Amino acid sequence: MSRFVLLGHPVSHSLSPVIHAAAYRALGLSHHYDAVDCPDDDALAASISRLRRGDIAGANVTVPHKARALVHADVTDELARETEACNVLACRDGRVFAHNTDVTALSLELAQFAPGATNAVILGAGGAARAAASACARRGLRRVSVFGRRFEDQDSTAPGARALAEMGARVFAWPATPHANSALIDELAVADVVIQATSAGMRHGPPGQAVADLVPWERVPASALAYDVVYTPAVTPFLEAARRRGLAARGGLGMLVGQAAAALRIWLDVEPPLAAMEAAARAALEEPT
């Protein structure tokens, strides 16, 4: 029996324990998966030390530690280096390996729900936004525009800007007020995909209405996909606004299950039971809070 964990803050909302428990049951394994709240870097470092010692067999990493976890890793894979963020840690021979399976998972979501997309707008500037930009690049999208609060005046030295530029994405300032950013309006007018890549609207996270209100939905093409990386609640203010516009709208549950499946491949070298994992996640979302 092995123990796997999720490291982040907060983590009480996470469906990862439910998803991984369902996977272990389906695979006939007796492993355990726990959410470990790490309010600061000391707590994160302590958990990664337990991983290095073998007390923990593998770890997922979520906000706000996806970038900081790289500091504690010995080896990073290509996607973790590219996005400057990781969401999976594994230990082999006393060395901690950092992976980014968010990119792979979102790439699969885009392939399924926006197969012909060429232009994307990403709202956010953190690890999820960089994962989204990387996924768009891997899908061959030609025009990727990222709007973040840290990119005032298109500051190329802001954290994350270099990584985004190397992926071929362009960075823009976050709108100061609803509908006030002409660049956002221009980019949305030709968008095939609009990705909400912040924690806004997440249960126990910051409110989501402000981000939804910043988007001039009437300017977004009716054929565009609105994708929110947030998965709980199932319908966020961003998705509600997109649906009122008549857009196809997807929450981040598929991305969550996909990244968990990729983590299982890394940790256990098994083929993940995707149907069981998704069914457990959907059932948990439907439970009253």
Residues serving a catalytic function are 66
Three-state SS across 58-101?
Answer: EEEECCCCCCHHHHCCCEECHHHHHHCCCCEEEEECCEEEEECC
Residue with tokens 């800007």: 161
**123-141 as b/e, with b when 16 or more CB fall inside 10 Å?**
bbbbbbbbbbbbbbbbbeb
Q: Nearest 5 degrees, angle CA 22-CA 27-CA 33? A: 45
207 upstream amide cis, omega within 30 of 0: no
d(CA 218, CA 147): 19
Q: Provide the residue type at 37 as one letter.
A: D
d(CA 202, CA 101): 20
CA distances from 196 to 5, 125, 213, 249 (A): 26, 10, 12, 11
Q: Pull the structure tokens for residue 162.
A: 């270099």
Element holding 172 (H helix, E strand): strand 170-173
From the number of C-beta atoms within 10 Å of its C-beta (0-12, 13-18, 19+), residue 85 rates as buried
Q: What percentage of the chain's residues is helix, strand, coil (to nearest 5)?
A: 40, 20, 40
